[in-house]
Amino acid sequence: MNRMHIAMFTNTYLPFTNGITRSIHSFRQALEGELGHNVFVFAQGADDYEEPEPFIFRYPSLEIPFQKYPLTIPVSRFVDRLMPRLKLDVIHAHHPAPLGTEAARHARQLGLPLIFTHHTYYQEYGHYLGLPEETGRRVIESWIADYMKQCQHIIAPSPSIKQMIETTYGIHDRLTVIPTGIDTRPYTAADGRAFRQQLNWGDDTILISVGRMADEKNWPTLLDAVAILFARQPHVRLVLLGDGPARHDLEKYSEELGIADRVTFTGNVPFDDVPSYLKAADLFCFASVTETQGLVTLEAMAAGLPVVAVDATGTADAVDHEVDGLLTPNDSEALAAAMERVLADEELGARLREATAVKAAQFDIVTLSQQLVDLYHQAIEDKQADRTIQMDEKKSIFNVDWRKPLSILEETIAELENLLTKSVHTEEK
């Protein structure tokens, strides 16, 4: 089989860790290591970070104040000179902007197919635009529609995301579900007992959760639930892996609940340490309602943890209720009751743990990476035939003119990019 040259554009990659970082990292390892292809990653800047991998190309970036999230500046003369020399076959965007716009530009200039993974419910993030909720939602949907029209294929990481794309945009062709796979080896190899001793967790029962500390992750519901549980279970603790703009408020809220001494906020931990943290814990609990695939839940299963989580999109795609985990309404009392049930019923806990290994095996990263390669080949054929994504123009988002607020947003972004471009070019001189 011919070796493919694949470019992946992403706003987030190591050392920043989130679900998209884990997805790209996992696919890249399998595409290169097991399948023999070349993957070039274009990502945010990472000052003072020693690259452990080759062929990671960085754009300059800033950290968004109070968000602890990188804002990538899509300007790089080096990348512009480099792209034609890589002899690429496909360009794969993991965000629509700002680096997604760079991916689309290079795809146009080089005559290459553009693939886009619709990783999340972008319309749920409209509040970051400072617009009324419904207006923000419609502006984002219109913007995403414009982006996807340039693509040869759209990837959804879960059936629920695929259904949302079909319903919102009327896309039914060249839309494929490819979940992020899991390399289960780091999770099975992790020495949870030794890591537990290293962390001085003792004999306490450890609940663990992983994710960005942001409002959309629904952390207060989880803290409310563990507060209820702590009142009944004196030797239970909660460990939260991750960082983000809401961390300070969540730490303060845990103090208000009187549980701060039993809740540990680790902040971001090294990527390679996550399997050890999970393997050392006793129960994975999760309250997010904005997940796309439930990747972190699947990673917990790979570590052999039973799962108790809010029944929401993404997570529900990963968890089979009463088989490998328990799903609850978005309610702290129900979440607390489910956690207490698993902790109290040893037979139930053992049954759930046994099923998690079966579930994790269904998401083998090599098998899913081969599906991705097959999709790349189809996208190449579609590009040669000048086929792009087609949408149902009768859908509601096309019936209202959202271009005015969108154009204002685009003008603001363009002005910012121009200022940053001048600054970057000045520094290059």
Position 2 scores a pLDDT of: 86
Per-residue pLDDT of 28-73, as tens digits, reads 999 999 999 999 999 999 988 999 999 999 999 988 776 678 889 9
Q: What is the dihedral of CA 320, 322, 323, 327, to 10 degrees?
A: 30
Q: What is the mean pLDDT of residues 124-137?
A: 74
CATH of 5-181+367-428, one of 3.40.50.2000, 3.40.710.10, 3.40.50.10710, 3.90.1170.50: 3.40.50.2000
Of 322, 327, 351, whose CA–CA distance to 337 is shortest?
A: 327
Task: Write out pLDDT tens, residues 305-353.
Answer: 999 999 998 899 899 999 999 999 999 999 999 999 999 999 999 999 9
End-to-end C-alpha distance for the chain, whole angstroms:
44
Over residues 164-181, the pLDDT tens digits come to 999 999 999 999 999 988
**Spatial distance between the Cα atoms of 323 and 261, rounded to a whole number of angstroms:** 33
**Band of pLDDT at residue 412, cut at 50, 70 and 90:** low
Q: How many CA atoms lie within 13 A of 125 on its CB side?
A: 11
What is the distance between the alpha carbons of residues 83 and 4, in angstroms, rounded to a whole number?
15
Position 157: which residue type? P
The DSSP letter of residue 3 is P
Query: Within its chain, how far is the Cα of 239 from the centroid?
Result: 20
Whole-angstrom Cα distance, residue 73 to residue 57? 13
pLDDT at 18: 84
Identify the helix (H) or strand (E) that includes residue 310: strand 307-310
Answer CATH for 185-361 from 3.30.230.10, 1.10.3470.10, 3.40.50.2000, 1.10.150.120: 3.40.50.2000
How many angstroms separate the CA atoms of 172 and 404, rounded? 28
Residue 295, pLDDT score: 86
- For residues 16 and 269, is the Cβ–Cβ distance under 8 A? no
Alpha carbons 405 and 292: distance in angstroms, whole number: 27
Measured between alpha carbons, how far is 317 from 295 in angstroms, rounded to an integer?
A: 10
Among candidate residues 138, 135, 139, 165, the one with its CA nearest the CA of residue 151:
165
Q: What is the mean pLDDT of residues 414-429?
A: 56
State the span(s) of the chain assigned CATH 3.40.50.2000.
5-181+367-428, 185-361
